[in-house]
Amino acid sequence: MAAATVGLLALPTAGPASAAPAGTPRALALSSSVSPPVITAGQTATQTITMSRAAPVGGMDVFVYGDARYNDFTSGRVHLPAGATSVSFPIRVGSYAVPTTVALHAQVSGRSLQRVAEVVVRPPTDQAVAELRFTPRVALANTWTTGVVVLRSPAPQGGVTVDVRRNTSYGPVVIMPLAVTVPAGSTTATFDAWVDSISEAEIIRPSAHLGASAAATELVVLPNRFDLGPGYARRGAVTEAAIGIGAAPNPDGVTIALTTTTEGVTVPPSVFVPPGSPGTTFPVTVSESASVSEPASITATWNGTSVTESLVIG
């Protein structure tokens, strides 16, 4: 399968065109190939970028672009040392549920982007994501939690890379890698996730993806204070809300009282935060008859302090 496309890029010059010696080439031919050109989702390939003549003194940066996983894995550039005409480097691309062709582009500074190669990604037939979990599952702002990705069967030679999505574009900031690699022969890979500054208690739902398989889990993130998270609920459904006590000592567990005066909305009379944990979740039940004209109001009371939060009903 052809995996390279050739484009013409002009070399950067240090002076005006008239200063170039007679016979100096005015354009640089850049080409690329990928080996193997067809991979299974989660595996690596090797990309080679070749120039028609050697890189100048100081070398040359080539900026490379693909999908989000490719960009993250390559950091968006490769360097040809002075005198070199080619460079090879490992690449990874995203995991897709159907066979997908990922176009790879490259450019040198000051010149237009060129499509130089492609790689075909096929869904795996013998590996799938079985589970994603975090320990602890409830985390305070400015702390670490550990994620674990579990496969249904051991990774083959070279390992398998699983995409990780935090799914928080407009919510709390949780920093985690875009992908993790399960080593050959193993079924698990761990990664660190940093819970950044959190303004309010919230439940996020990160997910792990490999081909057509996926696994998701809940991660509760909390500010460093007694707080009740807002949320969104549909009529006729039960949703979960987050609640936390910040960094307050909790050797024996604490009980937090819950109330609501909104018709058609039900919460338990109290929720128990387990020993050693900064928070937990509790169910909110919304009846089919609940009004959507205004948010529900929920109040939590603990240690002489009350907080009230809104729940939007849709």
Res. 157: pLDDT tops 50: yes
Per-residue confidence (pLDDT) for residue 17, from 0 to 100: 38
The Cα 82–Cα 242 span in angstroms is 56
Confidence of residue 158 (pLDDT cuts 50, 70, 90): confident
Q: pLDDT tens digit string along 268-312?
A: 999 999 999 999 999 999 999 888 888 889 999 999 999 999 988
What is the percent of the chain with per-residue pLDDT over 70, rounded to a whole number?
91
Per-residue confidence (pLDDT) for residue 18, from 0 to 100: 38
Res. 28: pLDDT tops 90: no
Q: Which helix (H) or strand (E) element contains residue 100?
A: strand 100-107
The Cα 67–Cα 95 span in angstroms is 10
Q: SS3 of 69, please?
A: helix
Q: Where are the domains of the chain?
A: 7-122, 129-222, 226-313
What is the chain's length?
314
Res. 143: pLDDT tops 70: yes
pTM of the model: 0.77
Res. 87: pLDDT tops 60: yes
Out of 3.20.20.110, 2.60.40.10, 1.10.3470.10, 3.40.50.720, the CATH code matching 7-122 is 2.60.40.10
Confidence of residue 27 (pLDDT cuts 50, 70, 90): low
Confidence of residue 24 (pLDDT cuts 50, 70, 90): very low
- Mean pLDDT on 179-197: 95
Per-residue confidence (pLDDT) for residue 294, from 0 to 100: 85
Of the listed ranges 103-112, 252-261, 300-309, the least confidently predicted one is 103-112
What is the percent of the chain with per-residue pLDDT over 90, rounded to a whole number?
69
Give the CATH architecture of domain 226-313.
Sandwich (2.60)
Paired sense of beta strands 231-233 and 305-313, if any: parallel
The Cα 300–Cα 245 span in angstroms is 11
229 vs 5: which has the higher pLDDT: 229
- Mean pLDDT on 103-126: 91
Of the listed ranges 5-9, 77-81, 198-202, 259-263, the least confidently predicted one is 5-9
Per-residue confidence (pLDDT) for residue 66, from 0 to 100: 97
Which positions ≥6 away from 28 have C-beta within 8 Å?
Answer: 8, 9, 10, 11, 51, 52, 53, 108
Q: How many CA atoms lie within 13 A of 283 on its CB side?
A: 8
Per-residue confidence (pLDDT) for residue 11, from 0 to 100: 38
- Mean pLDDT on 259-270: 95
Of the listed ranges 168-172, 264-268, 281-285, the least confidently predicted one is 168-172
Per-residue confidence (pLDDT) for residue 287, from 0 to 100: 93
Tell me if 129-222 shares its fold with 226-313.
yes
The Cα 257–Cα 304 span in angstroms is 11
Per-residue confidence (pLDDT) for residue 12, from 0 to 100: 41
Residue 187 backbone zone (phi > 0: left; psi -120 to 50: alpha; other: beta): alpha
Fold annotation for 129-222: Immunoglobulin-like (2.60.40)
Mean pLDDT over all residues of the chain? Answer: 89
Per-residue confidence (pLDDT) for residue 168, from 0 to 100: 83
Per-residue confidence (pLDDT) for residue 260, from 0 to 100: 95
**Nearest-CA neighbor of 2 among 107, 90, 118?**
118
DSSP letter (8 states) at residue 126: S
